[in-house]
């Protein structure tokens, strides 16, 4: 698991700066080993506490208070974020550059309340564990560290609101790069996914409301039924992907909810659809948005109704991992688990608002294996059986620490 000390060089934001890996193999740096293990043990206790306090997006008051308490106990400075939830913290060593490390803190909302079935409790505990380790080795830092414990990732709003509240200017030095992690059940513990370029989709949710004219079912000629254009719109959307995007492009354009009417003998006034567009190329994304709008208007015109509303929601940019940061990202991962356990991963069409930060600062996002491996079943995020396998925290704490020391 641990690699011996060595110096790695990488190009980041126009500079070449040495990165020292302080994790060790055997007894070559026993103090580093002991403190890392101590940090992981602390993180194991913290994740148990965090798991028992799941909270909705923008409602993470208990979690925020818990993180602030840990920061205070560790002697790490916290910074006002301008928001009621989430925590910013700073650990400096008068370094020339600053790296930001981010974890999400909210839980997934279900009908019976919030639950930590996406692993954000582990992400938060991992970053706290790295903070504990780095505080103990503060004089060895090669970068100042800006810690971002972000609220409201599940509704993909937290990063945007933080940036709108002047995130980058709140730190003593503006970060020149940002890194984040997310557990990945499909990868076994001990494996880290490192991918250069597009990793997660640009995502936009939409809402379309067709407006008709109510009337009794016995006189359809006096009604304008909005269900027909809405249904045809939903069916035709799939053709936008199959006939208007390259077969070498990856895209999803689909309806996932349809609501209209309550009576069985009357035409309703409205038909409302919601859905999502997800792509790995911005140009494809814009084209699908334009054509979706055209299609809605065409269906309305064909059926004598109107489009009362066409709105876009929950926009998330493409998560595009920086090519310039790839050597640094790869080196930190290899130092944590060994090169043989660092793997490339295919992009996916999930959305992650970590991408919002990348509009301002170069960054890199990792998949950290959280599965049991072997023949064990894979329980995906948000499922009732979701869990994170033992050993995850050791890998995540080591990885995050290696990025800055």
Indicate the DSSP class of residue 188: E
Q: Would 7-200+318-402 and 202-316 be classified into the same CATH topology?
A: no
Who wins on pLDDT, 3 or 337?
Answer: 337
User: SS3 of 33, please?
Assistant: helix
Determine what percent of the chain falls in helix, strand and coil, rounding each to the nearest 5: 35, 30, 35
CA 287 → CA 213, 233, 251, distances in Å?
32, 17, 11
Structure token digits, residue 190 = 């001990």
Q: Which residues contact 301 (CB under 8 A, 6 or more apart)?
A: none
Rounded to the nearest integer, the mean pLDDT of the chain is 92
pLDDT digits (tens, 9 = 90+) for 142-193: 999 999 999 999 999 999 999 999 999 999 999 999 999 999 999 999 999 9
For residues 386 and 388, give the distance between their C-alpha atoms in angstroms, rounded to a whole number.
7
Q: What is the pLDDT of residue 11?
A: 29
- In this predicted structure, the answer to whether residue 19 has a pLDDT above a threshold of 70 is no
Q: Quickly count: other Cβ atoms within 10 Å of residue 178's Cβ.
A: 24
Architecture of domain 7-200+318-402 in CATH?
3-Layer(aba) Sandwich (3.40)
pLDDT digits (tens, 9 = 90+) for 219-243: 999 999 999 999 999 999 989 999 9
Q: What is the pLDDT of residue 30?
A: 65
Q: Give the residue extent of every domain in the chain.
A: 7-200+318-402, 202-316
CA 110 → CA 114, 117, 185, 364, 382, distances in Å?
6, 10, 20, 30, 9
For residues 361 and 37, give the distance between their C-alpha atoms in angstroms, rounded to a whole number.
32
Q: What is the pLDDT of residue 1?
A: 32
Stretch 50-67: mean pLDDT: 98
| Percentage of residues of the chain with pLDDT beyond 90 | 91
The strand pairing partners of 105, in sequence order, are: none
Alpha-helical regions (H) of 143-281: 158-164, 167-170, 227-244
First-to-last C-alpha distance (Å) of the chain: 17
Angle at 270 between CA 269 and CA 272, to 5 degrees: 170
- Specify whether domain 202-316 bears CATH 3.40.50.620: no
For residues 384 and 351, give the distance between their C-alpha atoms in angstroms, rounded to a whole number.
21
For residues 57 and 392, give the distance between their C-alpha atoms in angstroms, rounded to a whole number.
24
Stated length of the chain:
405
- In this predicted structure, the answer to whether residue 15 has a pLDDT above a threshold of 80 is no
Q: The tokens 């972000």 sit on which residue? A: 150
Indicate the DSSP class of residue 269: S
For residues 403 and 368, give the distance between their C-alpha atoms in angstroms, rounded to a whole number.
14
Grade residue 33 by pLDDT with cuts at 50, 70 and 90: confident
pLDDT digits (tens, 9 = 90+) for 316-346: 999 999 999 999 999 999 999 999 999 999 9
Indicate the DSSP class of residue 84: S
Stretch 59-86: mean pLDDT: 98
Q: What is the pLDDT of residue 21?
A: 37
User: SS3 of 340, please?
Assistant: helix
């Amino acid at each position: 698991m641990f690699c011996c000390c060595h110096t790695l060089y990488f190009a980041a934001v126009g500079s070449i700066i040495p990165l020292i890996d302080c994790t060790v193999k055997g007894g070559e740096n026993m103090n580093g080993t002991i403190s890392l293990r101590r940090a992981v043990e602390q993180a194991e206790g913290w994740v148990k506490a965090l798991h028992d306090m799941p909270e909705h997006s923008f409602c993470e008051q208990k979690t925020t208070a818990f993180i602030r308490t840990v920061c205070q106990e560790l002697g790490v400075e916290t910074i006002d974020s301008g928001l009621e939830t989430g925590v910013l913290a700073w650990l400096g060593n008068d370094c020339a550059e600053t790296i930001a490390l981010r974890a999400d803190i909210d839980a997934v909302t279900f009908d019976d309340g919030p639950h930590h079935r996406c692993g954000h409790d582990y992400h938060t505990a991992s970053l706290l564990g790295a903070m504990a380790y780095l505080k103990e080795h503060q004089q060895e830092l090669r970068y100042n560290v800006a810690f971002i414990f972000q609220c409201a990732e599940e509704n993909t709003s937290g990063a945007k609101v933080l940036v709108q509240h002047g995130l980058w200017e709140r730190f003593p030095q503006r970060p020149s790069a940002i890194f984040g992690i997310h557990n990945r059940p499909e990868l076994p513990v001990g494996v880290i996914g490192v991918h250069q370029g597009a990793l997660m989709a640009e995502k936009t949710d939409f809402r379309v409301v067709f407006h008709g004219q109510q009337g009794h079912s016995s006189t359809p000629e006096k009604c304008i039924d909005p269900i027909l254009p809405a249904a045809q719109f939903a069916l035709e959307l799939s053709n936008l992907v199959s006939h208007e995007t390259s077969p070498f492009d990856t895209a999803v354009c689909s309806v996932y909810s349809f609501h209209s009417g309550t009576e069985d003998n009357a035409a309703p006034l409205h038909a409302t659809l919601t859905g999502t567009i997800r792509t790995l190329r911005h140009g494809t994304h814009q084209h699908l948005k334009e054509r979706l709008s055209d299609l809605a208007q065409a269906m309305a015109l064909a059926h004598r109704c109107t489009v009362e509303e066409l709105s876009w929601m929950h926009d998330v940019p493409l998560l595009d991992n920086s090519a310039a940061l790839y050597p640094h990202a790869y080196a930190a991962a290899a130092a944590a688990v060994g090169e043989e356990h660092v793997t490339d991963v295919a992009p996916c069409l999930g959305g992650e608002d970590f991408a919002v930060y990348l509009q301002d600062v170069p960054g890199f996002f990792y998949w950290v294996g959280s599965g049991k491996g072997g023949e064990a079943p894979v329980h995906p995020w948000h499922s009732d059986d979701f869990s994170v396998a033992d050993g995850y925290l050791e890998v995540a704490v080591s990885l995050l620490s290696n990025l800055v020391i």
